[in-house]
Amino acid sequence: MLPTTLINPRDQGNGSLNTRASARHTAGAKRYKYLRRLLHFRHMDFEFAVWQMLYLFTSPQKVYRNFQYRKQTKDQWARDDPAFLVLLSIWLCVSTIGFGFVLGLGFVEMIKLLLWVVFIDCVGVGLLIATLMWFISNKFLLKHQNRDYDVEWGYAFDVHLNAFYPLLVILHFIQLFFIHHVILSASSLGYFVGNTFWLVAISYYIYVTFLGYSALPFLKNTVILLYPFALLILVYVVSLAIGWNFTKALCVFYTYRVK
């Protein structure tokens, strides 16, 4: 069970406790501490990172309650332990190699696919989404426009990673067992199963992202982050009506990418 304490409203921003505390909690100091721990595996809490990965599927609210506890104890919302990022990277590499085997790619092609997925699909797109959400939340969702209340960029990136993990497992791992015999078949069952995997995966992404920003007490109107659900359902229904197989399109794109 996660430890809980009463939240002091004055501590909900990213403001300082005192001058010395301010120096210790600047963005540069947090970044330096995070990167330094990235080089020391023995200092990472992998057991807790696995706990987070499990609960992102079963009860993501518990994961964000821990983020609130970190804010109270360490005066920052973002993770200070890179263990989650390390495990996510391992998951990404293993699942992408599995995808390469399913597509029948050679060794060199598989390495190319791995580099594309890691540095473009995960890191590149993740940086873009995190920056966009950081800008939108600070520009339009803040209750109070002052520097003591703002969304940390690192937290926005953590929210993306949290939401990306279930999507990765569903599309890059669970789906692999159905690709050849079901999803890529010529029957309507194929694109129904494949597109349903996409529906569930993207729904997880939207919902976990919404939970991440709604956990911040200084944001308002975070329910708008659920609005993409309507577009998602519309695209899903249209795809079934016209027989558009998302997974088949992804496989073609992955193969074209590395040729």
Residue 8 inside a domain? The answer is no
What pTM value is reported for the model? Answer: 0.85
Residue 103: pLDDT over 80: yes
Q: Crossing angle for the helix pair 60-74 and 46-58, nearest 10 degrees? A: 140
Q: Which amino acid is at 24?
A: R
pLDDT of residue 80: 86
Residue 198 inside a domain? The answer is yes
Q: Which amino acid is at 149?
A: Y
Residue 184 inside a domain? The answer is yes
Residue 219 forms beta bridges with which residues? 142
- Averaged over 98-120, what is the pLDDT? 92
- Averaged over 142-152, what is the pLDDT? 80
**Token pair in block for residue 202:** 């993207």
Residue 131: pLDDT over 70: yes
Contacts with 164 (C-beta within 8 Å, 6 or more apart), sequence order: 88, 122, 126, 205
Residue 175 inside a domain? The answer is yes
Containing structural domain, residue 98: 29-258
Residue 75: pLDDT over 90: no
Contacts with 254 (C-beta within 8 Å, 6 or more apart), sequence order: 99, 103, 113
C-alpha span between 15 and 18 (Å, rounded): 9
Poorest-pLDDT segment among 32-36, 63-67, 71-75, 166-170 = 32-36
Residue 15 inside a domain? The answer is no
**Token pair in block for residue 46:** 């992998």
More confident call, 41 vs 143? 143
Cβ-in-10-Å burial (0-12, 13-18, 19+) of 192 comes to middle
- Give pLDDT tens digits for 7-58: 444 444 454 444 444 434 565 566 656 656 666 677 788 999 999 999 999 9
pLDDT of residue 165: 96
- Averaged over 215-242, what is the pLDDT? 96
- The count of domains in the chain is 1
C-alpha span between 246 and 156 (Å, rounded): 28
